[in-house]
Amino acid sequence: MPGGALTPLPPGAVIGILGGGQLGRMTAQAAASLGYRSHIYGPEADAPATQVTPLSTQADYTDQAALRDFAKAVDVVTYEFENVPFAAAETLARYVPVRPGPGVLHICQNRLREKNFCNESEVPTAPYAAVADLAALRQQVEKIGRPCVLKTAEMGYDGKGQAMIDRDSDLEAIWPSFATAAATSGVILEGFIDFRLEISVLVARGMDGARQTYVPVENHHKNHILDQTIVPARVTPRVADKAEGIARHLAEKIDLVGLLAIEMFVTADERVLVNELAPRPHNSGHWTLDAAVTSQFEQTVRAIAGLPLGAPERLCEAVMKNLIGDEVASAQAALTDPNVKLHLYGKAEARPGRKMGHTTKLIRRGT
C-alpha cells in the first residue's frame, strides 16, 4: 500500500476487470503490452473487452459463487465503470486486492458522497443539498436559487436522471420522477454554474504514493454525451495549475491506487469547481493513447500492478472525437488524414447514443 516498497505483479499475472466495455477493452490491451493477462467479468455477452482476451466470466455482479471463482483466478481486480455494485467490490476484496479500493468506489458512485468528500477536502463544488421530499425541494430551491439542477445521486450518466429547474419550472410536476430515487439512493439539488468551460484532469497514484497528473483538457458535449476533447484545454496557466492541484490533492485524500478522472467547471472569473469523479480511465483521456508518453490505460495498469508510473506528458496538441451511433460510418474515411488515429470498439450494432469508437487528430506543428 502507499508508502511501501514496490513489489510489482510479475509478467503473466492476471488483471481482473469488472465491466466489459471499451474502457475495459483498452485497459486489457495495455495490460497485454506489459505482459499481463486480463480476465473480464460482466453480465453481457460478446462485450467489447472479451474480444481482446480469452479469459472472461459472463455472470451477474450479484453472483457470489462466480465472484469468488473470479477472485481466485486473478491477482488484482479493477473496474471500468463506477456503477459496479459496491457489495461485489467488497466481496472480491476479501480474496484479492481491489484497486482503486472499495472505499474509493463507494464515494464515486454517489453524487452526494462525492460532493461531501470534496467539501471535507476543501475543494470547491457547486452549492448543493440532499433533497428527501417535495417540501425539502421547495425549501432548497429557495435557498440555492434558480436556475438549479436536480439529479439522482446514483446511476445517472450522460445527462440521465437530471432535471433543470429554471424560473418557470413547476416543482410539483418535476418531483414524482425523483421520488423513488429519493427513497433509495438519494437525490441532490445543485446550483447551476454558468461555466465558461468544462475541463477534466486525470491523476494517477501508484502503490508507493507517487502521483502524476495529465494536462487539463477541454470537453464539449452533444446531446449530453461527450463529443470532442480538445488537448490541452484553452485555460490560463493559473487555472491549469489550480485544476492539477485539485486532482493531486483529491488523489491523496481518497487514498487512490489507480487512476481518477475529475470533471470540473471553469467560470469566467477563473474559479474551478469539481463536478464529478470517476475512479477509472475516462472518455476524455482517450487522447493519451496517441498523444501522451503514457496512455491512461497503461498508467492504470502500472498503478494497480505496483509498477512505477509512466510520464504523463503530452507529445503534441490533439482533438479526440467520439464516434457516436451512425457517426461510425465515416470512421475509415477519417484515415485519409494521415495524422488521424482510429480506435473502434468492436460493437456490432450502431445504436443511437452508443459510443462505437473514437478518432484522435494529432496536431503536430510543422507537419
Which of 127, 157, 251 is CA-nearest to residue 201?
A: 251
Nearest distance from residue 314's CB to ligand AMP, in Å?
23
> Residue 282: CA atoms inside 13 Å, Cβ hemisphere, count?
28
What's the rounded Cα separation, in Å, for the pair 120 and 117? 5
Nearest distance from residue 224's CB to ligand AMP, in Å?
6
Q: Give the phi and the psi of residue 222 in degrees, each rounded to 5.
A: -130, 130
Nearest distance from residue 304's CB to ligand AMP, in Å?
25
Question: 252 near 211, Cβ under 8 Å?
Answer: yes
Cell of 304: 494497480
What's the rounded Cα separation, in Å, for the pair 50 and 40? 6
Among all chains, which residue has been given the C-alpha cell 503536430? 364
By beta-carbon proximity to ligand AMP, the closer residue of 86 and 192 is: 192
Which of 318, 299, 310 is CA-nearest to residue 233?
A: 318
Give the interface with ligand AMP as residue ranges (CB under 6 A). Answer: 126, 149, 156, 159, 190, 192-193, 198, 221, 224, 263, 275-276
By beta-carbon proximity to ligand AMP, the closer residue of 203 and 261 is: 261
Please, what is the angle between helix 22-33 and helix 296-305, to 10°? 70
Among all chains, which residue has been given the C-alpha cell 503530452? 314
By beta-carbon proximity to ligand AMP, the closer residue of 221 and 351 is: 221
Nearest distance from residue 190's CB to ligand AMP, in Å?
4
What's the rounded Cα separation, in Å, for the pair 79 and 100? 8
By beta-carbon proximity to ligand AMP, the closer residue of 149 and 251 is: 149
Nearest distance from residue 125's CB to ligand AMP, in Å?
8
What's the rounded Cα separation, in Å, for the pair 271 and 79? 31
What's the rounded Cα separation, in Å, for the pair 69 and 193? 46
Which of 362, 334, 193 is CA-nearest to residue 267?
A: 193
- In terms of Cβ atoms closer than 10 Å to its own Cβ (0-12, 13-18, 19+), residue 11 is exposed
Nearest distance from residue 159's CB to ligand AMP, in Å?
5
Nearest distance from residue 83's CB to ligand AMP, in Å?
13
Cis before 100? omega within 30 = yes
List the 187-191 sheet strands across, edge first: 128-130, 187-191, 148-152, 162-165
What's the rounded Cα separation, in Å, for the pair 264 and 334? 30
Kindly tell me the sign of the dihedral angle through the C-alpha atoms of 20, 159, 100, 243.
Answer: positive
By beta-carbon proximity to ligand AMP, the closer residue of 126 and 307 is: 126
By beta-carbon proximity to ligand AMP, the closer residue of 95 and 192 is: 192
By beta-carbon proximity to ligand AMP, the closer residue of 159 and 353 is: 159
By beta-carbon proximity to ligand AMP, the closer residue of 264 and 319 is: 264
By beta-carbon proximity to ligand AMP, the closer residue of 15 and 203 is: 203
Cell of 296: 491512461
Nearest distance from residue 111's CB to ligand AMP, in Å?
7
Nearest distance from residue 343's CB to ligand AMP, in Å?
23
Nearest distance from residue 162's CB to ligand AMP, in Å?
6
